Structure 1
Amino acid sequence: MSYRILASKLGYSCPESSWEEAMKMKIDLIGADAGSMDPGPYYLGTGKSYMKPASLKRDFTLLLRAALRMNCPLLIGSLGLAGDEPHLAFMLELIREIFEEENARGLRVAVVDGHVDNGLLIGRIDELRPLGSMPALAEDDVRNSRLVAQMGIAPYITALDAGAQIVLCGRSCDVSIFAADPVRRGIDPGLAFQAAHILECGAIACDPGSASDYLIAEFRDDGSVVFIPPNPERKATVYSVAAHALYEESHPCLQYYPEGVLVMQRTEYFNDSDRTAGIRNAAFAHSPLTVKIEGSREIGKRLVSFLPLKGEAALSSDPFLDRHLVYGLNAVERSRLLPGEQEIGILLKVSGTDRDGVEALSTVLKGFMLHFGYPGRITTAGNLAFPMSPSEVVFREADGACTALVLAGTREPRFIEQREDIFRKILALAQEEYPDIYAGCTVDFIIAGPEHPLLFLETVAETAEEAARRHEEDLKQAEAYLDPGRPSFLRLEGADSYAWSVFHLWNNEEAIREHLFPIRLYEANGRDWSPVREMRPAYSPIGLTDYPGSLDDRSVDAIEPVAHSGEPVESRPLLDMIQVLRSKDAGINTITYDVFFKSEEEYRQALRSNAFTKGEIAKTLGVPEDRIMGTFRADPCFAVKISRYRDRISGTPGSPDVFGAQQQMKIERMRVPIYR
């Protein structure tokens, strides 16, 4: 007997053909993660949705139809991306509209709020522990921020136990969406939580990987979970599944959640067929209840300009250019190109008469560019570095047309070589999935490089007047480098700038139980939702209360130096030894690198090389050793994980890569000493 979960990312435009394949199987639960901190602090701070209504409506409609066809629960977490009250209100209005259109009646719906009242934390700042490297927290930060808490599995389980078929939640731990029902059914928490972590980004855990597709997890009676991509063009392999088990986490085998710690030291990965792979033997250690608090506050008004420069700008040593992002010169990793390196900037331009359509298409294309799988891709966490939150700048042209600009860059040679084919394929995909929106827009990809650099000028100040004054000063300094033969985009009003102000763990269990995550139950008949009752989550301990191993994330599986009696016999390019090398945010202030080797032999050679100790990696990355959180071994999947503190918190003006997805080039260029 098996139990199956169908997973997707809401708003990522999963193919309808994959949905149809999934509907050929018996599905017991449907889950979708709708949120993240990755796109930056703007969306929490403003209460705005990251995804546009067109893609959200399309995707939710398919998920609702699947839940009704299968007569199974549908769980969605972090609605509207940031999962605060305005995001919930926006999504609930859209969902009521869909219920009416789909004639969805007689459904019990649960809505769970993730908002944190500012007053709840005033006077309790000493109870908040910073996660990673954060500025000192003051009551003013709490008072002037929009706050949410990440819920765990208890609100979902409570809603399901109350008979809810549709559970719509504010800010959630990604895994809670998919782990709650398996734990509720008595499935081992270790297995449930690791399976949930692999499911939370859909088909990213496949080969080729993409967040814009579905993935199925099949729990079996033998204590294993097998992952099945419904899209026949994808497959789940030991490496693709193991790679995602490490995804967006600072440690390879310890992951911390409100209810405890997922431990994957003894996880076994196995191939089940030529298209499916599975896991077994994960563990879950119980710990006292905690929640992660996230906060965003406004820091100023923003003006931006996109300025094409003459090719000789790349040869200039002017400090002015080094202070700013110049695509083709220093933008992606905030250091000038080394001999043999490439860097391009991509300015996506979408124009049309309808603003909503232009914004929707630019968002869709941005997502496709970020996650598109192409031959030889090794940076599976994301293809591009985006410098802003939000990434889109939308304005009216002189002729009345609406234009959206999205700026990104990369140094990855494989993407650069294949970019024209990638652009062609994502345009075809957008046309297929959103024909009406696509038909009303024109799309252009403006490419910058060393011969044709592009200066991104961003000014943030407390007032619009101060931003305009400082922006004009910078424009005057840039005049000598401007290329008059290429179009500039000047003095555009970017969205107001926000910064992450709170990223802390709260351990006041009594207050968490009493004040957070209220649940409202409704009887839904189309657009009409009648309140049934309100309730609070019921918390029950899960996992091992006497876990025998260490849960210290600095020492467990840390890479230690190896003593050698002789010199290395040769050195090999790291690229020749690996099949995946990616960088990615692991929270707002940490970047983690995952290096997956082609074979156990090459993995062991790398561990013996001493090239991956904390000290050597600090030299490779050009940072002090105390900025390296740790370097770790992941024996079950022949991988090395490196985690370091960010130079700037994600989404801060001047930070080149909001997602942290293109910071791997210094590691990619490594040579590994080989000892016999």
Structure 2
Amino acid sequence: MSPPQVRILTPVGMLGYSYSKDIFWSAVEAGVDAIILDSGSTDSGPSKLALRKSIQTDQAYEKDLEDIVAACHHYRIPVLIGGDGSTRGVNQIGDIIQSIIERAGYRSMKVIKILAEIEKDVVREKHRSGMIRPCGIAVPELIDEDIDEARTIVAQMGIEPWIKAMDEHPDFDIIIGGRSYDPAPFAAFCVWKGFPDLGINYHMGKIMECGGLCASPKSREVLATVRHDSFDITPLDPKSVCTSVSVAAHTLYEKTRPDVLVGPGGTLDLHSTTYEELEDGRSVRVTGAKFIPVKENEYTIKLEAGKLNGFFSIFMGGFRDTILLSQIDRFLEEMKIYVEQKVDFPFDINIQLFGRDAVMGALEPNASQTGHHELGLLLRARAATQDQATHVCQSARVYCMHAPYPGQKASAGNFAMPCAPLDIPMGPVSEFCMYHLMTVSHPCEHFPILSVVMEGSNTAPQRHSSKVEVQVPVNRRHTQASSNETVTPRVNATTNGGILSENAKAADTVSVLGKQPPTGHKFLADLANVVRSKNSGPYELTFDVMFPNQQSRDMVKNANILTTESIASLYKVPVSDVIACLWWDPALAFKATIKRSIVNGSFHDGDAHGSAQHMPLMEFPIPIGNNEI
């Protein structure tokens, strides 16, 4: 017999990012059935796989794990941690847990490891058999060199290896998984506890894996209460609330599209979902998601890998001379010619001018604008060895410092340098070389499960209640809201980045952008309360626009101006590179996704997270006619 519900605590969206210990213990002492969280992502690029290093330090992991392991010891709450993929990463987390158990005198714990690395021979054989294809239209076809050059290949597991691990070791304390589909540990635990509806389980996991990001304002700690026909999401930070719109909007985040989410074993269909705000004024109940399984013999797992492509060094500084700034493009082109004449080996240079086009690069619509009074420069030089890269870097820097230019008056030097050493070796260049789907005969065949008992002395003193009570205010504005209503909290100067004030309604209100829109128009930033960009995997860039009410949404939607063609024009990409362009009414939102012009984390990428590409949309003028918003 399954219980009537399970309660899952996620203290933070990424292990190592820290969370409130008071809120954590208040939730634990109130009773939870599992603690589940993630510790791996490709968001920051391929370096974890290519360099075989974690982005977070051991100290950051240990700080977060101390209380999680303590809760497991004192309350016997099972813990599930999704890993960064590599066996090295799984063992790193395991070693920290072992150290905590020994140091704190906890009981011995049964820790399960699910490994996710894939041998190159397996991938080669599958590739020869035609059983590997790109994960999305923006990803190139796999070639033999990609497999040869991959440093570490990992596969993204679904729920099946997690369920198998729990079935084989029902007395487990902690499971550390290798690379996992983000909602997999959440969905797997629910299935294991007797809740078979994968639509509900996967949708809950999709929201929970980011912690309290679905709340307003966004926070860290969040609780899911899962039942057989629904789940509730409750943020645990007293300053945050969930609304029907804020929860519905979460499936926009980092996704190609919000309504159809493809993962191992099938597709999550969210077209029929409903979002009901509950009487506590901060929780939302979700129903209606459907999971559509793949056909027999079509189960795929996603392969991820990074490679090394040379070494790079950097220097940084700034130009302030108006005479030089007026001819900066020619000056930097002549700098490249100077370096080419001085260097007799292959090299590559990337220049980012902060104050002009550093953030958006080729997507920048205002690259031709002039009039900047200063520009910051970051130069990256790549070559076959570190010494060669530093030599290129040094040559380019000397030119920037001392090269003459027409009309020069400041003969002592051109370039302000804030850092010493001036030329900084950065190490190997990492690049993605694999982001592909591989057909498998069984969901568990490439994910070995290991069990280890981590010995402890069991001498830790019994924990007494922290007696910390986190006061949860009830926001009566949201009581008795139906699933069809779109009640949202007032957006103020500190909510959602302060993009919009609801009081800014008059047609002549000064734009939050500090300039006037064209006559008869408003900037999109003045109509929306969220305008953001983010990676949707390494090869895609996705944009979300969310509105504070139906009136604002309908004005923009009915203008029929956010289209595939306008997005392509705005970001200077071919129409064929616009992968998705749609409205998502449950979240009062618009979504667009484009092919990334430069792959996430590669040498010429200027925005690894893709989170600073939103300004062209914010500045997009929307015709308002006689409407007042």
The reply to whether residue 26 of structure 1 matches residue 31 of structure 2 is: yes
State the distance in 1 between where 2:262 and 2:402 align: 52
In structure 2, give the amino acid aligned to 1:39. S
In 1, are the aligned partners of 2:154 and 2:304 still within 8 Å (CA)?
A: yes
The answer for the alignment partner of 1:352 in structure 2 is none
State the distance in 2 between where 1:214 and 1:472 align: 47
Q: CA deviation at 1:239?
A: 2.6
2:435 aligns with one of 495, 499, 503: 503
SS at match of 1:504: strand
State the distance in 2 between where 1:265 and 1:570 align: 35
Q: Structure 1 residues 242, 483: CA separation in 2 closer, same or farther (over 3 Å shift)?
A: farther
In 2, are the aligned partners of 1:569 and 1:675 still within 8 Å (CA)?
A: no
Q: Structure 1 residues 110, 337: CA separation in 2 closer, same or farther (over 3 Å shift)?
A: closer
Bigger-Rg structure (1/2): 2
The answer for the alignment partner of 1:369 in structure 2 is none
The answer for the alignment partner of 2:569 in structure 1 is 619
The reply to whether residue 13 of structure 1 matches residue 18 of structure 2 is: yes
Q: Structure 1 residues 476, 216: CA separation in 2 closer, same or farther (over 3 Å shift)?
A: same
Q: Structure 1 residues 450, 178: CA separation in 2 closer, same or farther (over 3 Å shift)?
A: farther
The answer for the alignment partner of 1:208 in structure 2 is 217
State the distance in 2 between where 1:239 and 1:326 align: 38
2:89 aligns with one of 87, 91, 108: 87
SS at match of 1:324: strand
The reply to whether residue 192 of structure 1 matches residue 201 of structure 2 is: yes
State the distance in 2 between where 1:639 and 1:336 align: 23
Q: Structure 1 residues 234, 341: CA separation in 2 closer, same or farther (over 3 Å shift)?
A: farther
1:440-483 CA-partner distances (Å, limit 9, x unpaired): xxxxxxxxx95443211111112224323322332234225865
The answer for the alignment partner of 2:392 in structure 1 is 470
Q: How does 1:134-533 map to 2 (within 5 A)?
A: 134-145=139-150, 146-161=152-167, 162-163=169-170, 164-184=172-192, 185-210=194-219, 213-220=220-227, 223-272=229-278, 273-287=280-294, 288-310=298-320, 312=322, 314-318=325-329, 321=332, 324-334=351-361, 450-479=372-401, 487-489=418-420, 490-510=422-442, 513-514=444-445, 516-526=446-456
SS at match of 2:125: coil
1:572-603 CA-partner distances (Å, limit 9, x unpaired): 32122211111110100101111111212222
Q: CA deviation at 1:106?
A: 3.8
**CA root-mean-square deviation:** 2.7
The answer for the alignment partner of 1:647 in structure 2 is 597
In 2, are the aligned partners of 1:241 and 1:278 still within 8 Å (CA)?
A: no
SS at match of 1:474: helix
State the distance in 1 between where 2:211 and 2:414 align: 43
State the distance in 2 between where 1:115 and 1:200 align: 22
1:405-431 CA-partner distances (Å, limit 9, x unpaired): xxxxxxxxxxxxxxxxxxxxxxxxxxx
In structure 2, give the amino acid aligned to 1:12. Y
State the distance in 1 between where 2:522 and 2:251 align: 27
State the distance in 1 between where 2:75 and 2:625 align: 57
Q: Structure 1 residues 73, 248: CA separation in 2 closer, same or farther (over 3 Å shift)?
A: same
Q: Structure 1 residues 513, 624: CA separation in 2 closer, same or farther (over 3 Å shift)?
A: same
In 1, are the aligned partners of 2:356 and 2:367 still within 8 Å (CA)?
A: no
TM-score normalized by the length of structure 1 = 0.73
The answer for the alignment partner of 2:495 in structure 1 is none
State the distance in 2 between where 1:110 and 1:95 align: 12
Q: CA deviation at 1:498?
A: 1.0
Q: CA deviation at 1:492?
A: 0.7
The answer for the alignment partner of 1:628 in structure 2 is 578
State the distance in 2 between where 1:470 and 1:486 align: 17
Q: How does 1:126-137 map to 2 (within 5 A)?
A: 126-132=130-136, 133-137=138-142
In 2, are the aligned partners of 1:182 and 1:192 still within 8 Å (CA)?
A: yes
Q: Structure 1 residues 282, 480: CA separation in 2 closer, same or farther (over 3 Å shift)?
A: farther
Q: How does 1:536-551 map to 2 (within 5 A)?
A: none
In 2, are the aligned partners of 1:621 and 1:667 still within 8 Å (CA)?
A: no
Q: CA deviation at 1:285?
A: 0.5
Percent of aligned pairs with the same amino acid: 27
Q: How does 1:50-69 map to 2 (within 5 A)?
A: 50-69=55-74
In 1, are the aligned partners of 2:400 and 2:415 still within 8 Å (CA)?
A: no
1:85-131 CA-partner distances (Å, limit 9, x unpaired): 22222222222101212333242221110101111111322321112
Moved more, 195-204 or 69-78: 69-78
Q: Structure 1 residues 508, 335: CA separation in 2 closer, same or farther (over 3 Å shift)?
A: closer
In 2, are the aligned partners of 1:248 and 1:586 still within 8 Å (CA)?
A: yes
Moved more, 312-321 or 615-624: 312-321
In structure 2, give the amino acid aligned to 1:153. I
1:478-498 CA-partner distances (Å, limit 9, x unpaired): 225865565244211113111
State the distance in 1 between where 2:238 and 2:369 align: 35
Would you say how many aligned residue pairs link Structure 1 and Structure 2?
Answer: 524
1:284-330 CA-partner distances (Å, limit 9, x unpaired): 10113210000111101111111222253554351565961111221
State the distance in 2 between where 1:507 and 1:235 align: 41
TM-score normalized by the length of structure 2 = 0.78
In 2, are the aligned partners of 1:122 and 1:143 still within 8 Å (CA)?
A: no
Q: Structure 1 residues 257, 315: CA separation in 2 closer, same or farther (over 3 Å shift)?
A: same
SS at match of 2:195: coil
In structure 1, give the amino acid aligned to 2:438. W
Q: Structure 1 residues 97, 653: CA separation in 2 closer, same or farther (over 3 Å shift)?
A: same
Q: Structure 1 residues 275, 474: CA separation in 2 closer, same or farther (over 3 Å shift)?
A: same
In structure 1, give the amino acid aligned to 2:351. H
Q: Structure 1 residues 317, 84: CA separation in 2 closer, same or farther (over 3 Å shift)?
A: same
In 2, are the aligned partners of 1:296 and 1:499 still within 8 Å (CA)?
A: yes
Q: Structure 1 residues 527, 661: CA separation in 2 closer, same or farther (over 3 Å shift)?
A: farther
State the distance in 2 between where 1:635 and 1:25 align: 36
Q: How does 1:598-609 map to 2 (within 5 A)?
A: 598-609=548-559
In structure 1, give the amino acid aligned to 2:308. E
Q: Structure 1 residues 470, 569: CA separation in 2 closer, same or farther (over 3 Å shift)?
A: closer
The answer for the alignment partner of 2:546 in structure 1 is 596
Q: CA deviation at 1:243?
A: 2.1
Greater fraction of residues in strand: 1
State the distance in 2 between where 1:659 and 1:12 align: 16
Q: Structure 1 residues 277, 480: CA separation in 2 closer, same or farther (over 3 Å shift)?
A: farther
The answer for the alignment partner of 2:76 in structure 1 is 71
Q: CA deviation at 1:152?
A: 0.9
Q: CA deviation at 1:6?
A: 0.5
Stretches of structure 2 lacking an aligned partner (at least 5 in a row)? 334-349, 404-412, 459-517
In 2, are the aligned partners of 1:295 and 1:502 still within 8 Å (CA)?
A: yes
The answer for the alignment partner of 1:438 in structure 2 is none
In structure 2, give the amino acid aligned to 1:59. D
